[in-house]
Amino acid sequence: MKKLRYGILGAANVAPRFIRAVQNSKEGKVEAIASRDSLKAQRMAENLGVRKFYGSYKELLEDPEIDSVYIATPNSLHKEHMISALQHGKHVVCEKPFVLYESDVHEVFSLAREKRLFVMEAQKSVFLPVTLEIKKIVDSGELGRVHLIDYCQSATGFIQEWFYRRESGGGALNGSLSYPLEHAIFLTGSKIQKATGTGSLGETGVDLQCAVSVSLIDGTLLTSRITTLVETKGMALVWCEKGHVEIPDFWKASNAKVLFNDGRTIEIEYPCEHEMTYEVNHINRCIIDGLSESPVMTERMTCMSAKALEDVRRDIWQDL
């Protein structure tokens, strides 16, 4: 079968991980990389074995050999680039956060439906085998009801210059809050009721770390601490009536531990060379099957996440 041909918009630090996942997937291949810095695109293409590179996004979007576009540009440009890609007849996968405002989510998904094209927010955590196994255990009722979820993560390794600019959609909150929000929504099957937070602002006015509290409509509470200032022990702790789950590096988890109050323990292990591969395989199947929306990473989930992001950003940045 002919493989889906991907074009990569942006040569950000996250792009090589997505490219390797596509190359490792069953039904996709990367055809081209575009960056406003042509030399940067060329270097990345050569290093990763990608055939073509472009010095402008427009050139890539006009390439008839591209079926799907992965967007890894600064956060404030996501909406503009998704709309342009859809108008050029390309399926779209956009790095988190999908957009910075809830109203923009509806606009992008509406255009995708109109054009009969697929669009999805990139969110590898909900497609990991570890996450799926934990959800199966939670849904079975073995652990009783989920009441609390605690998340903690550092974001220190992939910071680029635009991260420190508000106008580019920078900050720890914009960059990483989608992970815990969407992970929790997926595990519980619930919806976000309210989100509030506080943060530490840097000299340029973006948050360098934040602490967020979220209530779900089923009564579950979640907390999320995200920092760019120190290396924390990245972890999710899911607290239930009959035990709890420990998930190291929950956003890219290859193992987890389920501990029951009666002393029983379940070890979950799924080693993976490229943790985005599961997500890419899902995207490929959705496109091949003619879907405009993922049944897992839905418009509704992305909307809830974007609304919470807006609310918490208003708390932290204050002068918005």
pLDDT score recorded for residue 13 = 86
Same-domain status, 97 and 181:
no
**Structural domain for 95, as ranges:** 4-122
Contact present, 242 and 140 (Cβ < 8 Å) = no
Do β-strands 243-248 and 235-240 pair in parallel, antiparallel, or remain unpaired?
antiparallel
pLDDT score recorded for residue 18 = 95
CATH assignment at residue 57: 3.40.50.720
Same-domain status, 85 and 152:
no
User: In degrees rounded to 5, what are phi and psi of residue 189?
Assistant: 70, 15
With residue 120 as reference, give the H or E element that holds it: strand 119-121
Same-domain status, 116 and 130:
no
Residue 215 lies in a domain: yes
Same-domain status, 183 and 70:
no
pLDDT score recorded for residue 242 = 98
Same-domain status, 268 and 191:
yes
Question: DSSP character for 249?
Answer: T
Task: Choose one of 107, 122, 137: the last residue of a domain.
Answer: 122
Same-domain status, 309 and 173:
yes
Task: Choose one of 95, 122, 149: the last residue of a domain.
Answer: 122
Model's pTM, two decimal places? 0.95
Where are any strands of DSSP class E within the chain? Answer: 4-9, 28-34, 52-54, 68-71, 91-94, 119-121, 146-154, 192-201, 207-216, 221-227, 235-240, 243-248, 255-260, 265-269
Task: Tell me the HSE value of 318 on the side-chain side, using a 13 A CA sphere.
Answer: 8
Residue 166 lies in a domain: yes
The tally of domains found in the chain comes to 2
Question: Is the bond preceding 16 in cis, omega lying within 30 degrees of 0?
Answer: no
Residue 210 lies in a domain: yes
Task: Choose one of 122, 138, 158: the last residue of a domain.
Answer: 122
pLDDT by 10s per residue, the chain, length 320: 689 999 999 988 889 999 999 999 989 999 999 999 999 999 999 999 999 999 999 999 999 999 999 999 999 999 999 999 999 999 999 999 999 999 999 999 999 999 999 999 999 999 999 999 999 999 999 999 999 999 999 987 667 788 899 999 999 999 999 999 999 999 999 999 999 999 999 999 999 999 999 999 999 999 999 999 999 989 999 999 999 999 999 999 999 999 999 999 999 999 887 899 999 999 999 999 999 999 999 999 999 999 999 999 999 997 54
Residue 14 lies in a domain: yes
Same-domain status, 117 and 129:
no
Same-domain status, 134 and 116:
no
Rounded to a whole number of angstroms, the distance between the first and last alpha carbons of the chain is 50
Q: Which of 245, 178, 162 is nearest to 210 (CA)?
A: 178
Same-domain status, 190 and 270:
yes
pLDDT score recorded for residue 320 = 46
